Amino acid sequence: MQSNAEVLSTLPTDDRLAGRTAVVTGSSAGIGEAVARVLASSGATVVVTAREADRASGVVRSIEAAGGTARALTVDLGGSYADLRRFAAEATDVLGGRVDVLVNNAGIYPVGPTEALADDDLDALLAVNVRAPHVLVGALAPAMAERGDGVVVNIGSWMARVGVPAMAMYPATKAAIEQLTRGWAAEYGPRGVRVVGVAPGATSTRGNADYPEAMDQLARATVAGTPVRPVDVAYAVRFLVSDEGRFVQGSSVDVDGGLVGARLG
């Protein structure tokens, strides 16, 4: 199997998303970068976001080198409500006045026993993983609904539906995102905005590089037998935001190699 980097460096191009615009939060690395690059490879104009300008710009350069179109914006998703709404307006502006796709990917995951989780970490988890998607949907989905067209994809986690020792709060934020997906689908779906989720399994990202043994153990218990690559999650996102996914609404698609649905051990 090709590595994630190998696949991203040789993505074929097509026009299934030509003319569409997309904002992908937390897209300077990992799943977010893969989503941005895959959407761009299918013709979407993508806003790549990060807290540091050089990291976002690096992904934009990779997209442009492959013939795609992207813009870089910086945002602190743990910032103020005003900062988040300002970012939404700026993204809309650089995309020519409309956002067709919002991918709420960015997330943080400080972990540890409940009694040891620092107050600042708790605040950050709620701010980045729950508050930011809520504010961005509130800022961008109404315009989609007014046009009668748009897609919101929320990146969740396999851990939203299981109990994991010393890791209660991060999965709780992802469970919240799954419920928001259902709620937003009911709220905006009748006005033409599809809201869907993707729940990755144990994924080989830079953030998980510090836990190789745990990753290998989880992967061995799956049907796939290997960790999820970020590009595999990106392929699911592309399907969901394309016309091919138009009847997927309000649900989350598991991209986990069978980790939840068919565990082998």
Please list, residue by residue across 145-180, b when 16 or more beta carbons sit within 10 angstroms of its beta carbon and e when fewer do: beeeebbbbbbbbbbbeeeeeebebbbbbbbbbbeb
Bridge partner residues of 155 (DSSP):
198
Count Cβ neighbours within 10 Å for each residue of 223-238 and write b for 16 or more, e otherwise: ebeebbbbbbbbbbbb
Q: For residue 154, what are the β-bridge partners?
A: 104, 197
Q: Is-catalytic flag, 170? A: yes
- CB-based contact 12:41 (threshold 8 Å): yes
Choice among 81, 170, 211, 235 that is catalytic: 170
On whether the CB atoms of residues 149 and 100 are closer than 8 A, the answer is yes
Catalytic residues: 170
